Amino acid sequence: MTVEKCNRERLWDSIMEIGQIGHAEVAGSKVGGCHRLALTDKDKQARDLFVGWAKDIGCSLRVDAIGNLFLRRDGIDNSLAPVMTGSHLDTQPTGGKFDGVYGCLAGLESLRCLSENNIQTLRPIEVVVWTNEEGARFKPAMLGSGVYANVFKLEDILATKDAQGISLGSELERLGYQDLMSKEDPGCHQYYELHIEQGPVLEALGTDLGVVAGVLGMRWYNVEVVGRSCHAGPSPMELRNDALVGVAEMITELTNIAGQHSKDSRCTIGELTIPNSSTNVSPGKVCFSLDLREGKLAELDELQTKAFETIHRIAFHHNLEIDIKETWSLPPCPFDEACLANIKQACQTSYPQDKAHQLISGAGHDAVYVSRVAPTAMIFVPSEDGLSHNEKEYTSPEQLEKGCNVLLNALILSANSK
């Protein structure tokens, strides 16, 4: 296998140029942050720039009913299903310049390399820009890939509204995407997604390449804990029915359970509210979010059981009432062995001196939903200090180049397979 290499400077410059759309100056950041919510004018501007670059090398554009963009480089046999790669261009409200964007630009850079070296592949290759991956404007996250994979109904997602009451469908129409939409669907032979890790594992191990074998299963809950509020002064401690005291004990024990359960266990309480709170009133009601994650379904079930038992046991001890509602879930997602084999081969041939680390992603990605309709796998490169969804997010040009070279060569392997 001949090893192909990307143009590091061009990849970096492209990422930085798109990053200027929604650029935010941030103290302590090496390149600044980015604010570019899905289907805003800034998102459309970034998408248009990306489409223009792809058309410059002869790619054609297809837009589906949810506004996903498919930029296609023809193969020798265009009757074959394409190999796909991609990610997203929308960001968090205070995001960085690499999350999602890197996967799209590395896909484009791969096509640029193929074109300038006159390399033909048997299958066509498509780079995809998925709509509203972040879920920062329209909830939930990964709406574009979710509709593509038939996880969500198109009509429901088009009717989804942001905080200002603007529907996703009306924004697609306002930005002119409805005039470009096609019902054509050539399918997908294999899908590869390159992403910054968004965590600290690769950096801690001192390796620049991660082979992502799957994504953790996730379950989100809203937990409501009810006791009885009382005046802070006249009420002795032993006679109180304080909901917050019980919740504090729950949070401590839930965190300990996840820490002792398995290396892939995660437990996060990211939101906590005290309705009608006041300095001199002991809380009678507390609500908190609970995010549980695990690598295997049986382990996730066991973690949930332990968590619920803990919550109810502590509630009983403190004479509290409990209501737990699941708000969202995603099953564990193992990736395709053939796709993983192509990534491993690309790692070995591109960087024989480096030892790629196989890991499980703790964050959700468009690849999770795509894996339901096509063989899928992911590649990670490090995030400095494990930061992402943060304006100080950073990955070096050298690390970005390594990931892109692995993606490029994995795409060639896949696109030349029958």
* Domain end call among 283, 312, 330: 330
- For the stretch 83-105, what's the b/e string if a residue is b when 16 or more beta carbons lie within 10 angstroms of its beta carbon? bbbbbbbbbbeebbbbbbbbbbb
Residue 418's pLDDT is 87
Instruction: Please check whether residues 237 and 194 belong to one and the same domain.
Output: no
Instruction: Please check whether residues 210 and 221 belong to one and the same domain.
Output: no
Instruction: Please check whether residues 103 and 127 belong to one and the same domain.
Output: yes
The predicted-structure confidence for 352-404, as pLDDT tens digits, reads as follows 999 999 999 998 899 999 999 999 999 999 999 999 999 999 999 999 999 99
Q: Averaged over 48-52, what is the pLDDT? A: 98
Instruction: Please check whether residues 353 and 211 belong to one and the same domain.
Output: yes
* Assigned domain for 89 exists: yes
Instruction: Please check whether residues 203 and 157 belong to one and the same domain.
Output: yes
Q: Averaged over 1-11, what is the pLDDT? A: 89
Task: Tell me the C-alpha distance between 87 and 82, whole Å.
Answer: 16
The predicted-structure confidence for 401-417, as pLDDT tens digits, reads as follows 999 999 999 999 999 99
DSSP string covering 303-320: HHHHHHHHHHHHHHHTT-
Instruction: Please check whether residues 100 and 17 belong to one and the same domain.
Output: yes
Instruction: Please check whether residues 250 and 222 belong to one and the same domain.
Output: yes
Instruction: Please check whether residues 12 and 148 belong to one and the same domain.
Output: yes
Q: Which of 101, 38, 104, 44 is nearest to 70 (CA)?
A: 104
* Domain end call among 296, 330, 364: 330
**CB-based contact 311:224 (threshold 8 Å):** no
* Domain end call among 330, 360, 393: 330
* Assigned domain for 1 exists: no
SS3 362: coil
The predicted-structure confidence for 68-118, as pLDDT tens digits, reads as follows 999 999 999 999 999 999 999 999 999 999 999 999 999 999 999 999 999
pLDDT surpassing 70 at residue 141: yes
Query: In this structure, what token pair is assigned to residue 349?
Result: 């041939």
* Assigned domain for 178 exists: yes
pLDDT bin (cut points 50, 70, 90) of residue 251 is: very high
The predicted-structure confidence for 285-306, as pLDDT tens digits, reads as follows 999 999 999 999 999 999 999 9
Residue 284: which domain range? 217-330
Domain harbouring 222, CATH code: 3.30.70.360
* Assigned domain for 2 exists: no
Instruction: Please check whether residues 369 and 317 belong to one and the same domain.
Output: no
Q: Which of 46, 77, 45, 74 is nearest to 62 (CA)?
A: 74
* Assigned domain for 3 exists: no
Q: Averaged over 183-198, what is the pLDDT? A: 97
The predicted-structure confidence for 202-225, as pLDDT tens digits, reads as follows 999 999 999 999 999 999 999 999
Instruction: Please check whether residues 211 and 223 belong to one and the same domain.
Output: no
DSSP 2: P
The H-assigned helical ranges of 117-227 are 143-148, 154-158, 168-174, 201-205
Q: Which of 345, 100, 362, 389 is nearest to 209 (CA)?
A: 345
* Assigned domain for 307 exists: yes
% of the chain beyond a pLDDT of 90: 97
Residue 256's pLDDT is 97
SS3 197: coil
Residue 1's pLDDT is 61
Instruction: Please check whether residues 357 and 236 belong to one and the same domain.
Output: no
Q: Which of 51, 78, 270, 43 is nearest to 172 (CA)?
A: 43
pLDDT bin (cut points 50, 70, 90) of residue 3 is: confident
Domain harbouring 364, CATH code: 3.40.630.10
Query: In this structure, what token pair is assigned to residue 288?
Result: 């908190």
Instruction: Please check whether residues 300 and 323 belong to one and the same domain.
Output: yes
Task: Tell me the C-alpha distance between 106 and 194, whole Å.
Answer: 8
Mean pLDDT, the chain, integer: 97
Pairing of strands 230-231, 333-334: unpaired
- The tally of domains found in the chain comes to 2
